[in-house]
Chain A
Amino acid sequence: GIQVEQSPPDLILQEGANSTLRCNFSDSVNNLQWFHQNPWGQLINLFYIPSGTKQNGRLSATTVATERYSLLYISSSQTTDSGVYFCAVGAAGNKLTFGGGTRVLVKP
C-alpha cells in the first residue's frame, strides 16, 4: 500500500512564527487532504489538494504530484493552531491512508 511520511513529527513555535509541514508519499494519488485534529479529536478539513496550490487565510498548501510531496504552510501562527496536523492520501476507492502526523505546539 501507499506509504505516507510526515515531517517533522513535532514542532514548537512561538506565536507569530511561520512554519512548513511536509508530507511525502510513495505512489501516485488522486486524493490528498490536510487535516487539523483539535484537542477533542475532531478532524477539521483544511485542504483537498491532490495537486496545485491553495490558500485559506493564514494557511496555504502546495502539492507537487509528480514529485510525490505536499507542503502545508502556517503563517503568523496562533495558539489556536496547536494540535496535530495530518496528511492523508488516496488512490482508488476513496480510501485514505494517513501519515503519522505533525504535533504542533504554539506558545504565547
Chain B
Amino acid sequence: GAVVSQHPSWVICKSGTSVKIECRSLDFQATTMFWYRQFPKQSLMLMATSNEGSKATYEQGVEKDKFLINHASLTLSTLTVTSAHPEDSSFYICGQAGGGTDTQYFGPGTRLTVL
C-alpha cells in the first residue's frame, strides 16, 4: 500500500501561535489528500479535501481561515492551524487516495496540544 508520512508527530504550542503540519506522499503522486481530526476516544472527522494546485474544499463547520491548507505539489500537503487555542488540541491525520485505486491510506498522525 501507499506510504504517507506526517511531520511533526507531536507538537506542543502556546495559545495564539500557529502550527504547520506536513503530509507527504512517499511513493506515488497524490492529486487529492484529506485532512481529518480525531478527539480523544472519538472517531475521525473529515475537515477538508486538499486538491493539488487548487483551493481546498472544507467540510461544514470547519473554519477555512483558521485551518489553512496548501497542496502545492503532488507529494506534499500542509495544514496550518492559525492562532491555535486549547480547543484545537487534537490528533490530526492526513489521508491520500490515488495511484489508480480508491483505497485511502493514512499518515501516522500529529498530536497537537495547545497550552
Contacts and interface: CB of A to CB of B under 8 A. Distances in A.
Interface of A: 30-31, 33, 35, 40-43, 45, 48, 50, 86, 88, 90, 93-101
B111 A45 contact: no
B87 interface: no
Contacts of A100: 42-43
B26 to A, nearest CB: 15
A41 B111 CA distance: 9
Given A41-B91, A41-B108, A42-B109, A48 B43 contact: no
Interface of B: 1, 32, 34, 36, 38, 42-46, 49, 91, 93, 95, 97, 101-106, 108-109, 111
A45 B108 contact: no
A42 B102 contact: no
Given A41-B91, A42-B109, A98 B102 contact: no
A30 B101 CA distance: 12
